[in-house]
A and B are shown apart, each in its own frame.
Chain A
């Protein structure tokens, strides 16, 4: 079975500060990992995905994530937060199950202070 844990349901940063959102996964097989962003009253939008090609993955809007097998982590970072980054962020894992069902973490709400 696969699972995802996101540490910190709420993260607050100042505009221009580093953003770090934590994600740890559990998987019995090499995982495929994803980060999604959700703005209020909208669906989820893919930020980036890890598919074993490279451990450092660059996504949209300046976000990137690093896969660390030894730590079973896939933390999301952005060097400088912008007000428009305020949203809910979800880490998800999939693997060789039926279709490519995603198992999501509980989410982290990012707040950006001016």
Chain B
């Protein structure tokens, strides 16, 4: 169990540029989540995958945001035409397929901190 890995750890970009983040979940975990955390706030749900299927998207995920998990393993989160309001920590988490999914804890990566100037 090497944990959830996110890359890069930090990204500074200019407004209007596109950025892409990567998440590698724990290998046997079939569920993968993206959250966004702004300074002083709790994480907010963005989207969720079970294997390669994207099953849920938050209204926070505008059309400038797209997430993929093409082979049911790693995932990417792309933000197009970045805005200053996109500056945040983007957290990825994964969980295992326990019998009852609702109490299966999420394992978080260390996040990607995005700064849009």
Contacts and interface: CB of A to CB of B under 8 A. Distances in A.
Interface of A: 4, 9, 32, 34, 36, 41-46, 49, 51, 90, 92, 94-96, 98-107
A49 B56 CA distance: 23
Which of A9, A51, A102, A107 has the largest count of B CB atoms less than 10 A from its CB? A102
14 contacts: A9-B40, A32-B102, A34-B105, A43-B93, A46-B105, A49-B103, A51-B103, A90-B42, A98-B55, A99-B56, A100-B95, A100-B101, A102-B106, A104-B44
B102 A94 contact: yes
B48 A105 contact: no
Nearest to B98: A100
Nearest to B10: A41
B91 interface: yes
A11 to B, nearest CB: 14
A43 B31 CA distance: 17
Contacts of A51: 100, 103
Given A43-B91, A98-B48, A99-B55, A107 B42 contact: yes
B40 to A, nearest CB: 7
